[in-house]
Structure 1
Amino acid sequence: MEANTVNIHADLIARCREDDRNAQFEIYKLYNKAMYNTALRITGDENNAEDVLQDAFVSAFQNLASYREDASFGAWLKRIVINKALNQVQKAKKDLMLAEDMKAKASEFEPEQSEPNYTVEQVKKAMNELPSGFRTVLSLYLFEGYDHKEISEILGITESTSKSQYKRAKDKLKMIVTQEVNYG
């Protein structure tokens, strides 16, 4: 026997499907506190929970056509919030690992004649100053762990171009970081 889900907000949802902003705001008011608490429990951070909440509501309203009403709207929305929160946590972990990686890899950019310690912020700033091609190859190789063959396939360049871009990027990054330390 199939259980039917009765959606107590069917009229509001129907209006939301027609892009009625007042109905969207009503739905938001009905669900925002519960969804925020869900996001906060998963992310553990108020700012991240607010970002997740915002993203989840935007996504829900944009994808309302895919809501089949086989579950309550609240349950459907909660799945979106949970997925967005888990993605946020994964992103935060990846950013933390990237920062740790950058700090560990910063030693590659130290001039041989001296032993300065570069901060993650200095390396990040220097990375942002690289031309986009250099930055892309360097990031894919050093931080994402791709080899030059994979990079060549991803970017549609030759393997030798990937290698030369990497070397040039590394040299340019050393130069930028060294200048920052010496003149910054």
Structure 2
Amino acid sequence: MQALTNNLNPTPVTDQLVARCKKGDVRAFRELYDAYSTAMYNICLRMTGNVSDAEDTLQEAFIQVFGNIQRLEQAGSITAWIKRIVVNHCLSHLRRKKVYFEEVEEIEVEEEQSVDEAGFSGTVQAVKEAIAALPVGYKTVLNLYLFEEYSHREIANMLDISESTVKTQYMRAKEKVRQMVKERI
């Protein structure tokens, strides 16, 4: 995918670039795509789990971005706006694939504890492979929380599940990743 790997020096997104997009300037659309495609593709790949679905989801998301650029008020909020559109398209993709999130009983979940990173001997590759091998529900919650930095409450709203379920899925995903990494090293 040439366009996704060839944006080493993307154009900074400014109010002027957004204004050009709003006027229908095709070059401005290309500059906007070049500025965000790699980062958004990485989100799609993490969430969908394969290249083909990530590419399709990215394309659908950017079609929506370009179709709704008139609604964007300031260039300063464009990153969050595009990211939200991309994440929503990824979630729609997962729903079409019939991914369901298991509701769990209300339980007390311990707050995040710090990890002794010096004692963690797993490699980055082992962690990536473990995350990729997670069940889709666990992987989705883990990606949204760790990599996309959404709160448990925001994830619960996005997935239409309880906050307790999000916390439990996250906790279980982390434990499963730990177990898988431990088995691989």
TM-score interval, normalised by the smaller of the two chains: 0.3 to 0.5
Q: Quick check: which has more Rg, 1 or 2? A: 1
- More relative contact order, 1 or 2 (CA 8 Å, 6+ apart): 2
- TM-score by length of structure 1 reads 0.45
Bigger helix fraction: 1
